[in-house]
């Protein structure tokens, strides 16, 4: 039994060294690739939920769903895009459930605690102020625009991929992207002085 | 000729404009400084978004997510209980290979950033494979690239000339290091083989080192610290070729001081 576990570990290690997946039959999802995708899934989950804890719950649910639906993943296709699609669906379904549950409707209408919008501890120290500004204004974009912007600008996904992940037409991706960029540019260039942002800086 | 659309602008700035439409758009940029400024603005915005959000990738991954990434196979319960025992047994019994397993477990917990050479190799693999936008600033603007990176890193950096080894500068970008921002310069030879040189500030108190070599996921990396700067040269060349270029980089950088 221990030998089997060792063998599995070695498989994974060798797969990593060779840059391929040795685990082709069962389980069909390449574990190293799955692990490697986690930081990106967490990041996107934070952008979606605006809440650090809910983001990790969402990632956990996404990974569980991924294993459940593993037969639907076509080996060799982009695992990341597939996981992002699952995450989007899980998120949309959870929101629909929460909307029906009056107790979960918070004052800002979207249940965002803002705990996710923390400047990374390891963010470049130079231009700190500018980065804080960008993060705050990103958090203020409508979620539909925020998700498209992050997928295009940060994840560097192709527009067609984004359309598939979000289940919207490419034309909608483009119009949201254009509005998001425009709004963010204006906001960063002309800082507003009203309501405090849901942003905490970790130092 | 159809005029440049808003969609073209975004696609061009994101490196996604189809080849067929690119020349027309580039002509439009040449004619219209306003359009060129818009492209630059979108790219600047992309870069600052990545600067902000790439830092999140470096955060440690919670154990519950690593567990969720494991196959939920039958007997998953006892397997999880035995995993640490298996890992240590592997380390004891089969030395090197077991070491890989334990090391990978440690890497998983640490999130993306790891050792400098590993990070350099991952970054190399990520950007060298990118056909559309391997770099943020192209070699045509080498001076601006060096100025920008110098400003962001807080110490002077420039791209060494590797033409005599057959490698021309493609351009460069800023990447999120595990502790500090890292400058990346990319080179390409006639066979489209790419090399990257990455530079960043070493941890405080680090002394100069000799060349060290590592292979990470099939990418060879020579790394060293010289005059308070850590360098990593990565590529899929064989070790001797990579070392020869490493020496060239070293000599060139030493000369410029």
Residue A143 belongs to a domain with what CATH number? 1.10.10.10
- Chain B interface, mutation test: which of A73, A153, A202, most B Cβ atoms within 10 Å? A153
Same domain, A78 and A150: no
Tell me whether residues A43 and B86 touch, CB distance under 8 A.
no
Given B48, B133, B151, which is nearest A131 (Cβ)?
A: B48
Tell me whether residues A59 and B68 touch, CB distance under 8 A.
yes
For residue A177, give its domain range: 118-201
Residues A178-200, mean pLDDT to the nearest whole number: 75
Residues 6 or more apart whose CB falls under 8 angstroms from that of B69 comprise A31, A34, A35, A38, A63
Answer whether A123 touches B (CB < 8 Å): yes
Tell me whether residues A123 and B59 touch, CB distance under 8 A.
no
Residue A89 has pLDDT above 90, yes or no: yes
Answer whether A154 touches B (CB < 8 Å): yes
Answer whether A1 touches B (CB < 8 Å): yes
The angle at the Cα of B87, spanning B82 to B91, to the nearest 5 degrees, equals 145
Same domain, A127 and A154: yes
Same domain, A86 and A127: no
Same domain, A63 and A151: no
Same domain, A14 and A94: yes
For residue A138, give the chain B residue with the closest CA: B49
Tell me whether residues A123 and B98 touch, CB distance under 8 A.
no
Same domain, A15 and A91: yes
Measured in whole angstroms, the distance separating CA A113 from the mean position of its chain's CA atoms is 17
Three-state SS sequence of chain A = CHHHHHHHHHHHHHHHHHCCCCCCCCCCCCHHHHHHHHHHHHHHHHHHHCCHHHHHHHHHHHHHHHHHCHHHCCCCCCHHHHHHHHHHHHHHHHHHHHHHCHHHCCCCCCCCCCCCCEECCCCCCCCHHHHHHHHHHHHHCCHHHHHHHHHHHHCCCCHHHHHHHHCCCHHHHHHHHHHHHHHHHHHHHCCCCCCCCCCEECC
Q: What's the CATH class of domain B116-256?
A: alpha beta
Establish if A164 belongs to a structural domain.
Answer: yes
The CATH number linked to A34 is 1.10.1740.10
Domain termination site, one of A104, A129, A154: A104
What does the alpha-carbon distance between residue A71 and residue A69 come to, in Å, rounded to a whole number?
Answer: 5
- Chain B interface, mutation test: which of A39, A132, A176, A186, most B Cβ atoms within 10 Å? A39
Which residues in chain A are closer than 8 Å to B93, comparing Cβ atoms?
A: 6
- Percent of chain A at pLDDT above 90? 41
Same domain, A154 and A180: yes
Ranges A111-125, A184-198, B133-147, B205-219: which has the least confidence: A111-125
Query: Binning pLDDT at 50, 70 and 90, where does residue A75 land?
Result: confident
- Percent of chain A at pLDDT above 70? 68
Tokens, residue B218: 């099939």
Residue A181 has pLDDT above 90, yes or no: yes
Whether the model pTM is above 0.80: no
The angle at the Cα of A40, spanning A34 to A41, to the nearest 5 degrees, equals 70
Same domain, A149 and A77: no
Tell me whether residues B104 and A138 touch, CB distance under 8 A.
no
Same domain, A24 and A91: yes
Establish if A113 belongs to a structural domain.
Answer: no
Which residues in chain B are closer than 8 Å to A9, comparing Cβ atoms?
A: 86-87, 90, 98, 101, 104
Domain termination site, one of A48, A77, A104: A104
Query: Which tens digit of pLDDT belongs to each residue from A1-26?
Result: 455 555 555 455 544 444 444 333 44
Query: Which tens digit of pLDDT belongs to each residue from A24-72?
Result: 344 578 777 888 889 999 999 999 998 888 999 999 999 999 988 888 8
Q: State the ipTM, two decimals.
A: 0.75
Whole-number pLDDT of residue B176: 77
Answer whether A99 touches B (CB < 8 Å): no
Domain termination site, one of A47, A78, A104: A104
Whole-number pLDDT of residue B75: 45
Domain count, chain A: 2
Whole-number pLDDT of residue A1: 44
Whole-number pLDDT of residue A168: 96
Residue A137 has pLDDT above 70, yes or no: yes
User: What is the least distance, in Å, from the CA of A107 to any CA of chain B?
Assistant: 27
Which residues make up the CATH 3.30.200.100 domain(s) of chain B? 116-256
Establish if A73 belongs to a structural domain.
Answer: yes
Same domain, A79 and A144: no
Answer whether A199 touches B (CB < 8 Å): no
Establish if A110 belongs to a structural domain.
Answer: no
Answer whether A63 touches B (CB < 8 Å): yes
Same domain, A97 and A7: yes
- pLDDT in single tens digits along all 257 residues of chain B: 567 789 999 999 999 999 999 999 999 999 999 999 999 999 989 988 988 888 888 888 899 998 888 887 654 444 445 555 555 544 444 444 444 444 445 545 544 445 788 888 888 988 888 887 889 889 988 999 999 899 888 888 989 999 998 999 999 998 876 567 899 999 999 888 999 999 988 877 677 777 888 887 788 999 888 888 889 999 988 888 898 999 999 888 877 65
A–B CB contacts, 8 A cutoff, strictly below: 178
Same domain, A93 and A124: no
Establish if A38 belongs to a structural domain.
Answer: yes
């Amino acid at each position: 039994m221990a030998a089997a576990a060792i063998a599995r570990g070695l498989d994974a290690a060798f797969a990593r060294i060779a840059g391929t997946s040795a685990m082709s039959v069962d389980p069909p999802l390449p574990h190293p690739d799955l692990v490697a995708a986690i930081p990106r899934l967490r990041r996107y989950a934070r952008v979606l939920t605006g809440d650090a804890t809910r983001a990790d719950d969402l990632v956990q649910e996404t990974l569980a769903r991924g294993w459940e639906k593993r037969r639907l993943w076509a080996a060799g296709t982009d695992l990341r895009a597939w996981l992002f699609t699952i995450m989007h669906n899980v998120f949309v379904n959870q929101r629909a459930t929460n909307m029906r549950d009056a107790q979960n409707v918070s004052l800002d209408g979207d249940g965002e605690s803002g705990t996710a919008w923390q400047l990374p501890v390891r963010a470049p120290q130079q231009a700190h102020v500018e980065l804080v500004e960008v993060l705050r204004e990103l958090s203020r974009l409508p979620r539909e625009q925020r998700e498209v912007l992050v997928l295009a600008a940060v994840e560097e996904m192709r527009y067609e991929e984004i359309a598939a992940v979000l289940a919207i037409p490419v034309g909608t991706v483009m119009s949201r992207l254009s509005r998001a960029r425009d709004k963010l540019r204006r906001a960063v260039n002309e800082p507003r002085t009203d309501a405090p942002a849901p942003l905490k800086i970790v130092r | 000729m159809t005029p440049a659309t808003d969609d073209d602008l975004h696609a061009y700035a994101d490196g996604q404009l189809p080849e067929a439409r690119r020349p027309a758009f580039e002509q439009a940029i040449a004619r219209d400084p306003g359009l060129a400024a818009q492209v630059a603005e979108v790219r600047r915005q992309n870069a600052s978004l990545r600067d902000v959000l790439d830092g999140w990738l470096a955060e440690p991954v919670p154990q519950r997510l690593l567990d969720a990434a494991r196959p939920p196979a039958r007997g998953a319960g006892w397997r999880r209980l035995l995993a640490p025992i298996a890992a240590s047994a592997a380390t004891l019994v089969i030395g090197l290979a077991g070491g890989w397993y334990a090391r990978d477990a440690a890497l998983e917990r640490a999130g993306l950033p790891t050792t400098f050479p590993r990070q350099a190799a991952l970054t190399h693999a990520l950007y060298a494979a990118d056909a559309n936008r391997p770099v943020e600033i192209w070699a045509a603007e080498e001076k601006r690239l060096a100025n920008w990176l110098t400003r962001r890193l807080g110490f002077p950096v420039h791209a060494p000339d590797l033409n005599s080894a057959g490698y021309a500068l493609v351009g460069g970008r800023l990447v999120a290091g595990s502790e500090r921002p890292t400058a990346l310069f990319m080179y390409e030879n006639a066979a489209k083989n790419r090399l990257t040189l990455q530079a960043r500030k070493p941890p405080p108190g680090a002394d100069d080192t000799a060349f060290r070599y590592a292979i990470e996921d099939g990418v060879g990396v020579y790394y060293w610290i010289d005059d308070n700067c850590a360098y990593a040269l990565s590529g899929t060349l064989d070790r001797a070729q990579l070392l020869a270029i490493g020496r060239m980089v070293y000599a060139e950088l030493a000369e410029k001081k």
